[in-house]
Structure 1
Amino acid sequence: MKSILVAVDLNDKEELVLKKAAEFANSFDSKLWIVHVAAPEPDFVGYEPGPQSVRDIRAAELREKHRLIQKYADELKKKGINAESLLIQGSIIESILKEVEKLKADLLIIGHEDHDLLYKIINSDVSKKIINKSKTSVLVVPLS
């Protein structure tokens, strides 16, 4: 296993997923890609980007997210793991699967937290859709 992609959503539980990803990367001496998918820019989905202040806030949010995943990569590098971070914008499922293919990842690691029925009705189950659409092996780390 040469390359592992771990998708994190920066919800305060990503360290559980990163720990498991680090174990696999260490065991197989794999390169570990830490990927976070941020929501697309409003103009990508048919809306105007808004005033400059809104764009500045969005840019600051993206910089902070990138700083955080880079911090995780740096911490893993200190432990001898070949880790890189990627912050991409787009649709979560399609973006993750596209990166898996682009990076030729041998394993995709994602977290999953069970939710109540109302949440599942309102929001799509990202983990389930990734598992169903992925052409690469997927390891699901329980978060609850």
Structure 2
Amino acid sequence: MKNILVPIDFKGNEQLLLDKSLEISKKFKSKVWLIHVAAPDPDYVGYDAGPQSTRDDRANKLREEHKNIQDLADELKNNGIESEGLLIQGVTVDAILKKTKKLNIDLIIIGHQSYGIFYKALFGSVSESLIKKSKIPVLVVPLD
């Protein structure tokens, strides 16, 4: 197992995923790819980009998310793990599966939180979708 992909959503429970990826990557001497999938650009989903202030706010948010994913990758590096942090835009599950192929990922480690039926009906579950669509093993870490 040479490459592990860990999707990060920045909901405040990243440390559990980092700990699990650190544990597994040490045992297998794997590289860890941390990935955060940011929402697509407004133009991508059919909306105008809006005024300059809206575009500036979006750019600042992306810079902040990029810095955060790099900080998490640095934390793994400080623990002796080869790691990279990636920020990409797109539809979450599709973007993760695309990167999985491109990076020759052997394992996906993803967090899972329980949500109510209303939330699931509106947004679905990334972890459940990955389990259904992935051609490689997916390790689900409970975050509740």
Task: State the partner residue of 1:33.
Answer: 33
Q: CA RMSD in A?
A: 0.7
Aligned-partner Cα distance in 2 for 1:18–1:135: 23
Length, aligned pairs only: 144
Name whichever of 29-38 and 114-123 sits farther off. Answer: 114-123
Aligned-residue offset at 1:20: 0.5
Aligned-residue offset at 1:42: 0.4
TM-score normalized with structure 1 length: 0.98
Aligned-partner Cα distance in 2 for 1:75–1:122: 34
**Alpha-carbon displacement from aligned partner over 1:17-70 (angstroms, at most 9, x marks no partner):** 111011111110001000000000000111111111111100000000110110
Aligned-residue offset at 1:118: 1.6
Task: State the partner residue of 2:87.
Answer: 87
The letter for the 2-side match of 1:55 is: R
Task: State the partner residue of 1:115.
Answer: 115
Residues 24-103 of structure 1 mapped to structure 2, 5 A cutoff = 24-103=24-103
Q: Secondary structure at the match of 2:138?
A: strand
Aligned-residue offset at 1:15: 1.2
Pair 1:129-2:129 in alignment: yes
Q: Secondary structure at the match of 2:5?
A: strand
Identity of aligned residues (%): 53
Pair 1:141-2:141 in alignment: yes
Name whichever of 115-124 and 37-46 sits farther off. Answer: 115-124
TM-score normalized with structure 2 length: 0.98
Aligned-residue offset at 1:75: 1.2
The letter for the 1-side match of 2:89 is: Q
The ranges of structure 1 where at least 4 consecutive aligned residues each deviate by more than 6 angstroms after the TM superposition are: none
